[in-house]
Structure 1
Amino acid sequence: MNPTDTIAAVATAVAPGQGGIAVIRLSGPDAEAIGRAVVVCPGRQDWNSHRILYGHVLDAGRSRRLDEVLLLLMRGPRSFTGEDVVEIHCHGGVIAVQQVLERVLAQPGVRRALPGEFSQRAVLNGRLDLTQAEAISELVAARSRRAADLAMAGLDGGIQQRITALRERLLDQLTELEARVDFEEDLPPLDGEALLLELQTVRQELLALVADGERSDSVRSGLRVALVGRPNVGKSSLLNRLSRRERAIVTELPGTTRDLLESEIVLDGVPITLLDTAGIRATQDVVEQMGIARSEQALATADLVLLIIDGSIGWTPADAALLARIPVGVPRLIVANKADLQQGPCQEPAEVSVSALHGDGEEQLIQALLGACGAADTGGMLLALNERQRDLAAAAAAALARSREVAEQQLPWDFWTIDLRDAIRALGEITGEELTEAVLDRVFSRFCIGK
């Protein structure tokens, strides 16, 4: 990436027949000149910063209008990247966007932006810190309001402030240690127990952030929950109940579901993909056999398997056989459906009793489902580190844990500084205060083009 290039890319989603408008973003020293060359603005319109202009994009021969557009000019440093930025707002869809982008890229001095290059320039130019740039990507990818709230907390600087505060506490301790290494005879003795206590307190706070981040994965990326059971136990009815719509065909005939059906829902802020599987049984029907094979594949990749049994009949040898087919290590929850027909209490080993027809027990099922996946109690979470940030926070915590060994061995102060510097370096890499080319490549290569 050459930071002196002018770059361009579509900054909005593009799909046939979708979206009233699309935005093409340019950033760099030639952004304004390219905007003037591509967009013809009639009348006397002032090209002032942070003003919207009206015009048309013409073809290369300037004889045919390709689109009617609005142009927004933002001169640096008052822009997203800190550079001169031009946004061309054209009509959405595919063809109009493609034609306008082609006219932009045909101009001298401009190239197509690489994934995440706009956000990377914002970080390099001091407009964002690294955690804020990552939060933008997470906000765009959010699949629930809860995920969007967590992303906004990062975008508002919450993660940066928390990590920076912890890092400064460690820097204070490092300063005291280095002073003792160089001038111990001229300074009062350092309280080793108080130092160790402070380092371990910071370590515990880091571990708490790591744990919260791990719990937030379900909010960010969602869960895959497979519904399995004998034919006609009500898997499709339960999917329709949770989805609030008739996603699956429901009849009294066994074997109605012959393929893997998916339904996207959100439960207590957690995005969930429900997989309604074909009833697993012995059959000579070739199509049904294919559906059963896909059902078994879904079991291996699911975050949770709901084994649905017929509560009006109770536990059967066929249910036990299905339970045995769930891969080892995959969480499972046994649900007795048809509670409205059930006589007496839910039969063992069912853990939840529901009625897909009337909704009885639905809330208990939701809480049990989230609890089995480790996704319960995420509502009070204020900050959530992503995987990269968690790895670095865990590395910092591990470095601080080693300080206890140094203390127990009563080693000199300069030995304490080694692990302390490692922890400080890891925390600086979270926020971008310890920036390297490898860090930038690892973070922004996962971004979409246009971010």
Structure 2
Amino acid sequence: MKDFADNDTIAAIATPPGEGGIGIVRISGENAGFVADKFFKPVKKGFSVIDFKTHQAVYGKVIDDVGNVIDEALCIAMWAPNSYTKENVVEIQSHGGSLVVHRILELALSHGARMAEPGEFTKRAFLNGRLDLSQAQSVMDIIQARTDASLRMAAGHLQGAFSEEIKSMRHDILEIIAHLEASIDFPEDDIEDVAKQEAEEKICKIKDRIDEILKTFHTGRILREGLMTAIIGKPNVGKSSLLNALLREERAIVTDIPGTTRDSLEEYANIKGVPLRIIDTAGIRETQDKVEQIGVEKSVSYLQRADLILALFDISRPLSTEDEEIINMLEGKKGIILLTKKDLPKEIDVDDLKDKLHGDFKYIYISTLNKEGLKDLEDEIVSRVYSGNSGQAEGCFVSNLRQAEALKAAKKHLEECLNTIKMDMAEDFIVIDVRSAWEKLGEITGDTVDEDIIDQIFSQFCIGK
């Protein structure tokens, strides 16, 4: 399945851009040791990189082509197949200056390596059988995880928890195919009806398992990408105060002057393991300020696209025309209505507000001044995100659209298969649909996926991973 030419040797910087304590240049391929040996010289004389024991750090110096010392560094060789890519891998660990690591990379490229493409190290790990496609995709999810729950899900995928569930279903489907084909090949044994009955029972169980997994997609996608949350309300209703309370830091400017937030602020908050992608929007009101007008337009746009709406109403002030406008915008939507400034005397009829709001809303009283109601808000957010999946391990959640679409397609083929059985059609027709479901599940692990899809997936990775 390998698609890289002649097992060529690749190199890239494996650490983030900028300055740091350590910078790593990674080299992978059959000639990785020979490439590194051209410019890394161990302190121990007469000792070359290709003589290194696997997985042992060796101290030495990086030397350019005219003998100048670039840096002192450690070199670690990881010989095939005991490496990330299952190829020969050499890592040079130098000081983390941007110039230093780029000079080392240039030396590797000048001595026979080529620049790695985005995600090519992980792609080679997949093509060489070290990881399946679901595990490979989880590598970037681990890098990008923003909460413990996100990390647990990504780590579970990397360890193969999700893949094992998919492989188990594919194994069960193969057994169904084998029994059906046996009844086709040996009609004299009169096992046709038994094979169909057993196939129907097993297919129903597999379809139910797919349904249970698909129920986790909402949660899995949020843990992976974050819950896009729009905080909306009229000016000076407490939006920025809420943002600061959720972030547990003074991120947004808070004053009693209306219109302080003229643009949208976007931050990530960790709400009991749920990554909230919070957008603090400009206060919605009529204004002559062109900059603020743009901010209000963006607020309305975010309201339409948000996964979760937090709409704020100040109960210490009567409903205004601005509140009425927001009420109209919320028509038919769902979210959480936050009745702010609970610590002040109530000036609005909350029942009247509820009558005006037509949608699926939860009402929570809060006061960001004394932190009242914030725990109730956090509990409601977590409840909405997990929605019945709290008892399941995050490592088995569906985490991206490609996986979900493959599962839905497999389920559809199984449903068609059940219809075929009910119509008492021949086993050949049943096998066609069952095999199609098996192939769709294989797209998740990469066993039956097209090369173009593989290239597209790994192109989204960073270079060096």
Q: Normalization by structure 1: what TM-score?
A: 0.92
The answer for the alignment partner of 1:425 in structure 2 is 439
The answer for the alignment partner of 2:22 in structure 1 is 21
Q: C-alpha separation between the residues in 1 aligned to 2:125 and 2:71? A: 30
User: Relative to structure 1, is the Cα distance of residues 214 and 176 closer, same or farther in structure 2, using a 3 angstrom cutoff?
Assistant: same
Give the residue type in structure 2 aligned to 1:357.
L
The answer for the alignment partner of 1:61 in structure 2 is 66
User: Relative to structure 1, is the Cα distance of residues 90 and 346 closer, same or farther in structure 2, using a 3 angstrom cutoff?
Assistant: farther
The answer for the alignment partner of 2:31 in structure 1 is 30
The CA deviation at 1:259 is 2.3
**1:393-424 CA distances to partner (integer Å, 9 max, x unpaired)?**
21111100001211221111111101011011
Q: C-alpha separation between the residues in 1 aligned to 2:453 and 2:188? A: 41
Do structure 1's residue 256 and structure 2's residue 257 form an aligned pair? no
**1:293-321 CA distances to partner (integer Å, 9 max, x unpaired)?**
33333333322222211111243332121
Q: Check whether the contact 1:8–1:104 (CA below 8 A) recurs between aligned residues.
A: yes
Alignment of 1:114-133 (within 5 A): 114-133=117-136
Secondary structure, counterpart of 1:53 in structure 2: strand
Alignment of 1:14-413 (within 5 A): 14-15=17-18, 17=19, 19-44=20-45, 45=47, 47-62=52-67, 64-108=68-112, 110-191=113-194, 192-325=196-329, 331-343=334-346, 347-348=350-351, 349=353, 351-371=363-383, 374-376=385-387, 378-382=389-393, 383-385=396-398, 386-413=400-427
Give the residue type in structure 1 aligned to 2:273.
G
User: Relative to structure 1, is the Cα distance of residues 119 and 310 closer, same or farther in structure 2, using a 3 angstrom cutoff?
Assistant: same
Q: C-alpha separation between the residues in 1 aligned to 2:348 and 2:388? A: 28
Question: How many residues are treated as equivalent by the alignment?
Answer: 445
412-421 or 1-10, which deviates more: 1-10
Give the residue type in structure 1 aligned to 2:442.
G
Q: Check whether the contact 1:300–1:330 (CA below 8 A) recurs between aligned residues.
A: no
Give the residue type in structure 1 aligned to 2:439.
R
154-163 or 279-288, which deviates more: 279-288
Q: C-alpha separation between the residues in 1 aligned to 2:188 and 2:145? A: 56
Secondary structure, counterpart of 2:5 in structure 1: coil
CA RMSD of aligned residues (A): 2.2
Give the residue type in structure 2 aligned to 1:55.
G
Secondary structure, counterpart of 1:88 in structure 2: strand
Q: C-alpha separation between the residues in 2 aligned to 1:138 and 1:306? A: 27
Q: Check whether the contact 1:167–1:428 (CA below 8 A) recurs between aligned residues.
A: yes
Q: Check whether the contact 2:319–2:348 (CA below 8 A) recurs between aligned residues.
A: no
- The answer for unaligned runs of 5 or more in structure 1 is none
The CA deviation at 1:207 is 1.8
User: Relative to structure 1, is the Cα distance of residues 378 and 106 closer, same or farther in structure 2, using a 3 angstrom cutoff?
Assistant: farther
- The answer for unaligned runs of 5 or more in structure 2 is 355-362
User: Relative to structure 1, is the Cα distance of residues 423 and 287 closer, same or farther in structure 2, using a 3 angstrom cutoff?
Assistant: closer
Q: Check whether the contact 1:367–1:376 (CA below 8 A) recurs between aligned residues.
A: no
188-197 or 174-183, which deviates more: 188-197
**1:170-214 CA distances to partner (integer Å, 9 max, x unpaired)?**
111110100111111135344233321210110110121122123
Secondary structure, counterpart of 1:356 in structure 2: coil
The CA deviation at 1:83 is 0.9
Give the residue type in structure 1 aligned to 2:392.
M
Q: Normalization by structure 2: what TM-score?
A: 0.90
Do structure 1's residue 440 and structure 2's residue 454 form an aligned pair? yes
Q: C-alpha separation between the residues in 2 aligned to 1:276 and 1:344? A: 25
User: Relative to structure 1, is the Cα distance of residues 43 and 160 closer, same or farther in structure 2, using a 3 angstrom cutoff?
Assistant: same
Give the residue type in structure 2 aligned to 1:193.
Q
Aligned residues: percent identity?
Answer: 37
